[in-house]
Amino acid sequence: MFEHGPTGALRIDGVDLDAIAAECSTPLYVYSARAIRERIAELSAALRGLDALVCFAVKANPSRAVLALMAEAGLGADIVSAGELQRALRAGIPPQRIVFSGVGKTTDEIGMALHAGIWKFNVESADELAALQRAARSRGCVAHAAVRINPDVDAGTHEKISTGRSENKFGVAIGEARRWFAAAGALDHVRLDGLHVHIGSQVLAPGPLQLAFERVAAFWRELAGAGHAIDSIDLGGGLGVCYRPGHDRPLDAMAYAAIVRSALTDFGGRLVLEPGRWLVAGAGALLTRVIRIKEGESRQFLVVDAAMNDLLRPSLYGAWHEILAVDGSPRERVEYDVVGPVCESSDTFALARPLPRCVAGDLLAIADAGAYGSSMASTYNSRPLAAEVMVDDGRHAVVRLRQDFEGMVAGERLPAWEAVA
């Protein structure tokens, strides 16, 4: 995504990062429209010939500008809340291309999704299935549902983003799903016509995906043999990306599509894919300025103006993000602990990271921050949410204004007795 300008300084899509940071201040998210379109095109080419619906996992990046790119490309949305439903609809994604996942759908959220006319609910518990039946009956409609299978497959990823093992909260065992289909005739307002599986995020190896898809395919064949019509199989998302060059070796789109074709070669219905990270991670960068260098007894701390409230992944998962000096000039390399100003020891982006020698005011780019960056941000330590900018073919536009203090506290109220006093 990054390119070098005439002076060696970093650019994205022909736009100088220094210029964007000077205009919009830091910390600041920058997204490349071109990089997102290229990822979409790569996946579409790999899936050519399949009846496949790609539903972007909105949780990865819910920016309306990002979702609008998905809508323009004909993608759908994988949502996990009513808020994500509204974001997808406002960005122009038709309800007929929306699937609703998640273990905690409330009655109100189910009602909103039914009212909007979404395509399918990915159902994850017997209680949710009963709630969907009640909600659809009260509206006089029929809800289409896919049963999320927990295939008990270890994705080999971080334990906090693993979703396909039996001890995880997601999905139901195949035995339970079998009982649901056997009793499906009693559901007059829910049509169980799909299967769904998602084993985790940042999956780098093909084996777990192959095993999960084969288990779901075998269950589909069993259901078809028993007379149950299954018109869609949702294979979830989870494709990993390369955060650490030389270390992470993710599957490319063609290799992933080959696994899909191998496991489901005889399935004649629609395949649904829910990529999130894979489409947008590499398209985003978090710009941050050096506040100061703090000399410790044995380490040097590079204190920057971005913090864990802006990009949580390193603190939450110990995740690696490449960090680049924007000016690109040759300088002696120094090992720094790159830290933010939040009052937590976990507010750390990197430990003993070799970087060009820095001084206060230097601009850095934290790479591959387009997924689970701004979407997981908070106002911890009363730090306003960062602005977001999209660049496209030499142009740039602010797509989310930097939150100011008044905006941050706008919903706060004193209790009535304090206001009277």
Q: Please identify every residue annotated as catalytic.
A: 343
Using CA atoms, how far residue 421 sits from 52, 221, 409, 410, 411, in Å, is 62, 70, 21, 21, 20
In 3-state terms, what secondary structure has residue 340? coil
Using CA atoms, how far residue 21 sits from 166, 185, 214, in Å, is 46, 60, 48
Cβ burial, residue 161 (10 Å; 0-12/13-18/19+): middle
Using CA atoms, how far residue 179 sits from 145, 147, 176, 269, in Å, is 15, 11, 5, 22
What are 228's two structure tokens? Answer: 């149950």
What are 324's two structure tokens? Answer: 């680049």
Report which DSSP code applies to 69: H
With CA atoms as reference, report the closest residue to 202 among 259, 234, 248, 233. 248
Q: Cβ neighbours of residue 64 under 8 Å, at least 6 residues apart? A: 87, 90, 91, 399
Using CA atoms, how far residue 216 sits from 233, 350, 400, in Å, is 8, 39, 40
CB atoms within 10 A of CB 357: 13
Cα diameter, the chain: 73
Report which DSSP code applies to 341: S
Q: Identify whether the C-beta of residue 387 lies closer than 8 Å to the C-beta of residue 402.
A: yes
Q: Identify whether the C-beta of residue 366 lies closer than 8 Å to the C-beta of residue 321.
A: yes
Q: Cβ neighbours of residue 299 under 8 Å, at least 6 residues apart? A: 335, 336, 337, 352
